[in-house]
Amino acid sequence: MAAQAQRLWPDGPKRPEKEGSTDDDDDDDDDRGSGHPGYYVPPGAREGRSSATFGEDFEDHFRVPPRLQDKSSDLVEAVNDFHYAMINDHPRNEFYRECLRRAIVPGKSVVLEIGTGSGLLAMLAARLGAKRVVAVEASPHMAELARRNIAANGLEGTICVVEALSTALDADAIRRACGLSARREVRVGVDTAAGTAAAEPYLADLPDVLVSELFGTLLLGESALEYLRDARERLVAPGCR
């Protein structure tokens, strides 16, 4: 089955003028369904919106490889400076592998990854027996790279790459990526204080494992805590590991 892709860019607060930055001046803060103003925006996200491309950085007599000409300058810089080093950091990768091994129940667990990049952690989760992996990536070019890596490793039947900021997704988008019908079933209980029936959103079919590597050189400078808190509140099952 071909790797699935969802491009979900709803209208919302304007993006920061420079990728990899934050925007604290936007007053239209729709807390759900689009990016949060003030959150770090990863390089290459929302490609094509006031983003300088790598090819534009050079004079005409310099040859820029076609595969890089339309890529965001910030994205190329980030890949060269950080991504290449990270995927070759074997102690780091083994640490994540061991954490995933402890959390995943083979054949049963559904994993949500925020910021998949090259797709490495999503592939580790799939290799460890996850039933389904939803890999969220905001950069179109990185999302496409992840799909290619996943297909090259024969894991496209297990991993779905969703191209969006995680804050632009809701629980039904995650369900669709898992191959489930979007639904808002409720569990009916009793509100003992009011003596009336109470309904709660049905969340048990959402991912039960959450993984992310959003930590920058300044540790929390890429809004890791904010993105993960938002995901735990809205996109995963109760008691998610």
Residues recognised as catalytic: 213, 222
d(CA 237, CA 39): 24
d(CA 17, CA 40): 12
Question: Residue 198, SS3?
Answer: strand
205: which 2 tokens?
């079919």
d(CA 139, CA 147): 12
Q: Are 11 and 30 in contact (CB under 8 A)?
A: no
129: which 2 tokens?
């027996």
Q: Are 45 and 77 in contact (CB under 8 A)?
A: no
Question: Residue 136, SS3?
Answer: strand
d(CA 152, CA 129): 18
Question: Residue 26, SS3?
Answer: coil
> What sections of 104-170 are H helices per DSSP?
120-127, 140-152
